[in-house]
Amino acid sequence: MSQQPIYTDYFFDEPAFNTHDGGYIPLAVSVAPEQALQIPSLLEPDRQTATDVWYTVTAQAGESQLLPGPKTKTWGYNANLLGKTIVFKRGKHYHITLKNELPELTTFHWHGLDVSGPYIDGGCHAPVYPGEAKEIEFTVDQPAASLWLHAHPCPNTGYDVWQGLATSVLVQDDVEAALPFPRHYGVDDLPLVLQDRHFHENNQWDYDADYDPDGVQGPTALINGTVNPTFDVTTQRLRLRLLDGANRREWRLHFSDDLVFEQIGSDGGILPEPVKMTKLMLTCAERAEIIVDFGHYQPGDVVTLYSDDTPLVKFKIHAFTPDDTKLPDHLVDIDDPAVDPDAPIHKVVMSGMDESVELNGKKFGMQRIDDRQELGKTEYWDITNTNDMEGGMVHPYHTHGGQFTVVSRNGHAPYPNEHGYKDTIGVNPGETVRIKMTFNHPGIFMYHCHIIEHEDGGMMAQLQVYTPEDPHKHYQLMDMDTLMAALAKERGVSVDQLNIPSMNSYKMMGMDMC
């Protein structure tokens, strides 16, 4: 393998780090005792054939022992908190039963999965009501990647995710399987879902009490739903599938001793080449796969993963078999389709903070189509963050409906770890990021800032991906009156008595979501 540079900075503009936010809540080490890192079990299929697989994914309420004392009331997928890891294999056809055993409606959004919209994609137009089960099916046809499933019932997404509705989704394919990566799940291949929470009286969460229109945060790190986790390292090389599953928090990750690691994957799959680094910043909803080599450590040593100055996970080194595996210079090929020269350049402008957030000068309208792109065409999208560098923030932009490639940042090259497929990208204040997007399925898809309280507060829009044969296909879209009436009935209150904090963002701007 040729000599590679080692990157030692976080790439993003430091004045825009969330540590400078007026409402920033720093992480603090919990007084709770250390405990073993929870590794989500794999969801077992209901049945399968050579070509088809059937799963049941259930959103359910439960209780979790997160701190000493009373258990915390939580939500999860096929689990009390977060969920079981769901595995898809490229080329297979999946039949998914979506069951809602919660007290109110939710949705099941397959973040990063290349499927049709709006009903299979699982945004706000695909509610599953309490006691209801819905069937969806799709064929997985995209590269191996670390994706995730989370609730998306805007304007209530922040609440559902805060309660625990988020879990890892892994796509596997033959290309990734041939690469020299660790892949023994739970031993040398681990999902790490990075979140934070504020524990109130009796160890409970209180979303409304913690609500901040610029993003809900808590001082306690929760890694795979574990406070103060440790992991016993029994192999020299360890693959970590990192997910920023927090509502607001950015994670600036590094190891003790400035241990060098290699990033091998981003949101939508394996990178074209590994990137060596000592620091990695993730904005909300971004994923990164890294390989850590503990070859220079001895049994009894402890290597700690930090975010800024706060320890997140302690890796306790045990005896392992020496492993001299080296990564090749080239990992995978990335498609680079030509852009239609006659196609328009789509413009996305993310503006404001707090309740004033908007996208292209508007707040989200459930019934409004804001943009259009023809199925199969490749077109440029320019994503701009109009915040000022002083006092502004990084806005993580996410599009439903597939993966994009990053062309440039303010006309310059993307960051070194942005040369693969992505569905989420942090945009610095005063910056325009150009991406190249091809949609492979028709439908209605949302695009938005993934600070969840920003999307709930209206920094979101939606586009229609159309076919020439049916350019104005009609879709049954959710409307605000139906949504509010359903939530009011489920909570046993009148519509006027509903408490959904994000709706204040619309009221303060004199707008509605209809």
Write out pLDDT tens, residues 468-503.
Answer: 999 999 999 999 999 999 999 999 999 999 999 999
CB 77 within 8 A of CB 165: yes
CA distance 425 to 267: 9
**Which backbone phi and psi does 60 adopt, to 5 degrees?**
-140, 160
Report the C-alpha gap between 508 and 384 in whole angstroms. 24
Determine the Cα–Cα distance for residues 459 and 455; give it in Å rounded to an integer.
Answer: 5
- Torsion (CA) 278, 40, 162, 267 in degrees, nearest 10: 50
Identify the structural domains of the chain with CATH numbers, from first to last.
Answer: 14-31+181-317 (2.60.40.420), 36-178 (2.60.40.420), 346-466 (2.60.40.420), 480-509 (no CATH)
Partnered with residue 221 across adjacent β-strands are 196
Mean pLDDT of 258-267: 98
Q: What is the strand order of the sheet 35-36 is part of? A: 35-36, 229-233, 310-317, 302-307, 251-255, 280-282
Residue 448: other Cβ atoms inside 10 A: 29
**Cα(58)–Cα(151) distance, integer angstroms:** 12
Strand order in the sheet with 346-351: 358-359, 346-351, 378-385, 431-438, 404-409
pLDDT category at 514 given cuts 50, 70, 90 is low
Q: What is the pLDDT of residues 198-246, one digit of tens each?
A: 999 999 999 999 999 999 999 999 999 999 999 999 999 999 999 999 9
Question: In whole angstroms, how far apart are CA 423 and each of 14, 151, 238, 439, 460?
Answer: 23, 17, 25, 12, 15
pLDDT band at 511 (very low <50, low <70, confident <90, very high): confident
CA distance readout (Å), 116 to 112, 139, 303, 424: 12, 10, 43, 18
- Tell me how many degrees the CA angle 51-55-61 measures, rounded to the nearest 5: 170
CB neighbour list of residue 161: distance below 8 Å, 6 or more residues apart: 150, 151, 245, 247, 452
Query: What's the DSSP call for residue 14?
Result: G
- Cα 132 to the chain's mean position, in Å? 26
With beta carbons less than 8 A apart as the criterion, state whether 377 and 341 touch: no
The mean pLDDT value for 15-29 works out to 95
CA atoms lying within 13 Å on the CB side of residue 440: 14
**Site of tokens 């409906």:** 401
Cα distance between residue 500 and residue 487, in whole Å: 10
**pLDDT-based confidence at 2, cuts 50/70/90?**
low
Coil, helix or strand for 486? helix
Q: Give pLDDT, residue 390.
A: 74
Burial of 111: CB neighbours in 10 Å, binned 0-12, 13-18, 19+: buried
Question: What are the pLDDT digits (tens) for 71-91?
Answer: 999 999 999 999 999 999 999
The mean predicted confidence, pLDDT, of the chain is: 96
Instruction: DSSP for 66-130, please give it.
Output: -SSSSPEEEEEESSSSEEPBEEEETT-EEEEEEEE-SSS-B--EEET----TTTTTTSTTS-B-T
pLDDT at res. 298: 98
User: Kind of pairing, strands 251-255 and 220-223?
Assistant: unpaired
